[in-house]
Amino acid sequence: MSLILVLLWLGAALTLALLALAFAATVPLMRRRDPDPPDCPANHDMPAEAVQFLSRDGLQLGGWWIPAAGTPRGTVILCPGQNGSLDKDIPQAVPLQRAGFNVLLFDFRAHGCSEGELVTLGALEQADLFGALDYLATERGIGQVGVLGFSMGAGVALLVAAQDPRIRALVVDGAFPRLRGILTGYLRLRGIPGPLAGGFARVVLWVAGLRAGYSIARANPLDLAGRITAPTLFIHGERDPFVRTDEVRALADRLSGLVELWSLPECGHRQAWPTHPDEYARRVVEWFARYLADGETQRSAR
């Protein structure tokens, strides 16, 4: 057997092995999440109605409609991260509801009470947020909203805000510019060296796209950031193992609308809320009061 043929067989074997490893990596990454410990708005003294609606691609999603205390000042959609379910994020609806905002909190596909078997890292989840916007418009008569997104939900919020003017104000906690970067950080935490992690992340995203029937690698907030005009508050922990502070600043600089960055040197990924709950609540409420509630009043006056 010639040396060239041996090298070709060896290359083919290595390629197949790499693809097999990448497929194996997508299994825990994309599997349906196990629910978090159950919670409900009533446990936090908030009235609520269980709701269901369809994503843009036809999956049934479930969540909670939490009406504002008193006269509503606006409506905020909460987009969870890759928790097991929305239950973990219910406490973050409390300051918004008490400040006079309606809150819609729902499970993304393959989470909690929503249909779906594949998590796609924010790619197909865009259809879920579009479905939430459609539900509010058709069933509640609400055409202008704010969005508070966490981690994967932050990425989805940015992607959809670049495409849908119904999102009038944003708060994104744990946002990332590119999926490959956050996946590279995930792989590094599991012991894969930096250069290898970056290359392997690219292959994993390609295989994940094949499984999802959608190019997941295209779901990068940085690519659409210039189309975002909604005022946006970024919340970032400088010890985030997935996203560097300079990457978040570069993403924020790309937006076309007003931007503010609250960067916390001592915090990691999504640790601002548990470590600074009062300041977090104050900043989030003030942001939506300024750019959603006041903006809605000004639009109504005009």
Q: How far apart are CA 266 and CA 275, in angstroms?
A: 9
| Residue 157 structural domain | 31-178+220-301
Q: What is the pLDDT of residues 177-229, one digit of tens each?
A: 999 988 888 788 777 877 788 889 999 999 999 999 998 888 999 999 999 99
> Which has more pLDDT, 149 or 199?
149
Residue 196 falls within a domain, yes or no? no
Angle between helices 194-212 and 3-30 (to 10 degrees): 70
Q: Which of 6-10, 46-50, 82-86, 160-164 has the lowest mean pLDDT?
A: 6-10
Would you put residue 74 in left (φ > 0), alpha (ψ -120 to 50) or beta?
left
Quote the tokens at residue 72. 């509503």
Q: Phi then psi for 173, rounded to 5 degrees?
A: -110, 115
pLDDT band at 301 (very low <50, low <70, confident <90, very high): very low
Give domain status of residue 193, yes or no.
no
- In this structure, is residue 202 part of a structural domain? no
Would you state the structure tokens that stand for residue 109, as one six-digit string? 């596909």
Distance CA 234, CA 173 (A): 6
Domain count, the chain: 1
Burial of 53 per CB tally in 10 Å (0-12, 13-18, 19+): buried
**191 located within any domain:** no
Quick check: is 214 in a domain?
Answer: no
**Residue 21 per-residue DSSP state:** H
The CATH number of the domain holding residue 126 is: 3.40.50.1820
Distance CA 212, CA 214 (A): 5
Q: What is the pLDDT of residues 163-176, one digit of tens each?
A: 999 999 999 999 99
* 288, part of any domain: yes
String of DSSP letters for 74-127: EEEEEE--SSSSGGGGGGGGHHHHHTTEEEEEEPPTTSTTS--S---TTSTHHH
Contact 181, 204 (CB under 8 A): no
Residue 40 is assigned to a structural domain of this protein: yes
Provide the 3-class DSSP secondary structure of residue 33.
Answer: coil
Q: What angle do CA 207, 209, 215 make, to 5 degrees?
A: 135
Establish if 201 belongs to a structural domain.
Answer: no
Pick from 232, 239, 231: nearest CA to 264: 239
Question: Residue 186 is which amino acid?
Answer: Y
CA distance 175 to 191: 23
pLDDT, one tens digit per residue, over 6-36 is 666 777 777 778 889 888 989 999 999 999 9
